[in-house]
Structure 1
Amino acid sequence: MEDNDHLRSLKALTADDAVWEGFNPSAWRAIPPEDKVVKIAESSFATQDQNEAADYASDDSAPMVLNHHKLTKAERAKYGISVDRTRQHLVEDQEIPRNRPLEKLEKVKWKQTGLAMGDVSSEGDVFVAWRLVTSYPDMFVGKVNGSRAAPFFTVKALHQKCDWDLYYIYAPPQMNIDKAVILVPTYQFQHVLDAVNAKLDTQLTIPPGRNEGRFKMTFGFGNTPRPRFLGRSSNGASFRKLVKSTPGPHQDDDISKVAQADLDNFQHLIARTRADRKSRKRSDRNRSKRIASHKAWGQSIKRVQRYLGLRQRVVAAEIADGVDKPAVLDLSEPTSVKPENSVMFLAVDVEAWEQNQNLVTEVGIATLDTTEIQNIAPGNGGQNWFPYIRARHFRVKENSWAVNRRYVHGCPERFSFGRSEFVRQAQIEPILKQLVEGATLTDPVDGMTKQRPVVLVFHEAASDIKYLKLLAYHVEAVRNVLEVVDTRMMHQYLVRSNDSASLASVLNHLSIPYRHLHNAGNDAVYTLQAMVGLAVAKRLKSLEKVAAKATQTHIPYNEFKHGEGEGWTSNEDDDGGDPDDSFRSVFSSENEGAIW
């Protein structure tokens, strides 16, 4: 655009042409004289420890900083001008510029504080507690980015790319906190966030809102103590050494004469550096319980695999001798492992009226005899074993009028695996007793008929066992019940989820076709099918993991964090252990309110 055309376009934007009198349209695009450009280059390479007054004391330095934007890329290269280095003088000494390349962020060197150990910090310095720095990914970042960022916030990783200036401060005696609180400058923590963001392409920030103050703390109001310098740590070893050598409370930090209001504010500040201590302990306890549950679910699914012949029992001698485990599971061939204990699986489902949960309307029972499938290939998802599942469907005669319509669509008349049987409620208990306790097996060694072990299978065991108690049947008292298996928890372990899924969702996940759910007989059959499908799917997944581990040199952090670290996985030397008979105490009459 020509100068005159440009001037006319500017005048068109305003109502008063007079404001443009004397304006030279050529000046805005002019390149400064060469001698001034050279001065720009010299100024841009000034050392970082020059103060701002020295950098910009002359009158002609300001326009030079502005004029460098008018130079072309070739002209900047000619005179050795770097835009980034010129801008560097426009920020405070310790501020970390945003969007800098990762290599520059990783090579930062802080100016020396000029303080000796025990010297008090400057008034107005801004700090964050070290415990908040290391716990930042867990406490203030979502699950996805939290797991990605966590490796950068260990003590070792935090020292790999920058040093830390450590400060300490003691809480008032009445707070009963003996150890000093370790603090670091907030700008150094911000630098870490910038470096992690550049590395992971994230947007981690100091939390806004009420938590922001915990990362931007200033001390010393009303003659209360200010943090004292501890030293500069360059690695994990020096950090631990400095913390271990923290001096005791300084005599100048006496708070006996501090006004009560100022003392209350000081206590509040200290409390915020150690906030969430109780909730963290509670969270740790909850996490421990959660991990224990995950491990128990994993043990259960491994034992089911042993009972089905999908996994063999591991003995100590085999572990010591390094006996090779099967690398693949060929579902088109019978398993090479004999089903352990010749177990009979027996699934139970109970339906109750939705308007009165004490009114039992249906009981479904399905069985799978493992001696019948020993020489049968499992097939895809174990579906070759499904025809060996036998089922019975009982409708409680006196309650048959009660059909669920409001919350679930009951279909007691649509039993898909045989004919329904109408019985009185009092007959259910002896029927269950005969099916469970009357299960026998002929011993191949001595030919004697013996009571056989039974594994009870439920989808949401606590609910169905509660209904069985209403029918006067107490599973915890039955001696030949080996253990109780819950397909809901088996599925949670397979998909690594703390959220339970409905039977329909589990069947969909396993691609098992179904119809007429909420019929107790059908649900019992589908529960057994789900158990088989889950056991097969998990066994295949475990063997794939074994094969992958053979080529791995380390465990990926994400796998450790969400796998082994959360109890979702274990090694092949763990076969599930002995049967879990804790259900006898969990479901005893003294613990009717307990949750499975």
Structure 2
Amino acid sequence: MQEMTELDRFIALIGGEQNLPPISTEENVVDDTDDHTTTATTTEKDGDELPSIYEVEMMNEKYDQEAQERQRFLKQDGSEATAAMDGNVSSLGSQLANTSLRPSGPLTTRFGEVAPRGFTFVPFVAVTKFCYEFVPQQWSQPLASAFFDNNKIYERQWDLYYILSAHCQTQKPTTYVSEYQVQALLDEINQTFPKANIIISDDLRNEGMVQDFDDYPQELRPHYLGRLQSREQHDAWMVDTPMTGVASKMPPERTLEAFKAMLQAAADLGKAKSKSKQKAKLQMAVQGRQDMGKQVLRAQRRVGLMKRNEGSELEDSMARLNIAQYDPSKAVPFSLEDDPIIIAIDVEAYERSSKIITEVGVATLDTRDLRDIPPGTFGDDCSWFKYIRGRHFRIAEHKHLRNHEFLQGCPDAFEFGKSEFVAETDMPSTLNSCFHEPFSKPDCTTSAQSTGTQETRNLILLGHDLLQDIQYLRQLGFNVLSRRNVIDTMDTVIMFKHYMHDVNPTSLGRVLGHFDIVGWNLHNGGNDAVYTMQAMLAICIKAAMERGDENSAVKRQELDKQRTKAVVDAAVERREDEMVGWTLAQDEDGGVAVVPKDGDFESKTAKTMRPVHGPPRPPKLQSGLWTIGGAPLDV
């Protein structure tokens, strides 16, 4: 093997000859004596400009034509094909390299050379997806923009090797580049992004990211394909690359199995790696759980149960240490951040068609009303609940519709006031009035807007599965998110998930039951809106009461253990069921033969397919032929 010179190593390290600095000339020397006012004159020629779209299309056509000619050449020349099958790849590479039929690019007579020993290789498909699959999420997009997107990763002049062996047949070649060149790329990435510290970890090595072929026979090692310069060139090479050779003697079975496992590992890296996917999924889940907790803390800040961290890091840490368990018999310890009005919405649709909206409930809480008011006894008797204003709107055109098949609706049982019938066309304006002064206050008959003294208040939108309610309101022509003074949203489904440390959503009725709040006539839009507001307050108060409480922490741990045990028990029971019935009786001999029937081999999915409308099909005949009109043809 010809050793690499220092120049070759330097060129590989910087990613190819195209990254070498330009040769200086007298025309482009900058005169530093002119107080940095003289700029270098460029010597760009027309040939240095970027190619036009027409030129790119012509190059693509050229690559396609050469690939087709190479395929035709390989099929016509039987001696060369035979040489490839016999493992005489170097001879094939020598002739291809000296003809115009070789793969497009700066190939040399090295085409077909067996990879030198002493080098480790990385599947090229893993290199192209490295920033998308194998780096921390926060670095994925910056690395992609700088080194991978727009086919940049293909333009680094990689020395490409490939395997296409009859011992482990694949649809297309498995391509490799040396770990040496990959490390040069990682060094460049880390130099550009010093905090990223991107490496090929031991876990990735164990998954097959780095592969060593030194102990394999010649026909099972990578062969040189060429110096890669573009994505088009790569695709053209993949059209019809010759076999890397088949020896007359089969490799040992263990060697062959290990070889197949390496190729499979390379293929798996090309797919979305299961472990990488699991890590990314877990990372996203952890981030989602953190966001759930932040939503609870923001809600507590709105009602004075939590303080925003605005001081120095030392002050913030001391403040967190001094947060004590909250006593609901006392007023809240902090100011109400942003002084907002919280508006809860709940929309009910007809069970037979989600496009038919029947009820809209709105509940409003002005946090100013809670100043210096202790929540008091926790549960139904919470003193904050009486400051919630509820309204129930029924669509006049749909007042005759009542849900009763899938859930029990009760549109005429509003517990917190009197239902209001509104025409569907008037619903947008009616709902819009709930988001302005007097914010559904029953004792305010004159709007502040008419007197010109309206105050712009901060609004927070609340719901139980808020996304669905927002989508329902859009069907009515009311976009609740279009208001600039809506500063935040809250969802009691999300907040209760975090409070319980449970990934599964919980119904509003069960949330109320957990906090000893009796929910009367649920699935009434107005009632559900008020109960959603009560649930939000209960979560904030209860979480503040349990903050720093050792007994609550112990109960939480016990609950987590119970859940873990339930999951384990369910898995064990499922496995026990799967193991039943496999053992035959000792005197069993298989019994009589089973005569096959047509019905035994019919597709099970065909029986469950949706019916096909139209005239019946002609009966099946022995000949299977019919006339154009569909009549059986007797032949």
| TM-score normalised by L of structure 1 | 0.48
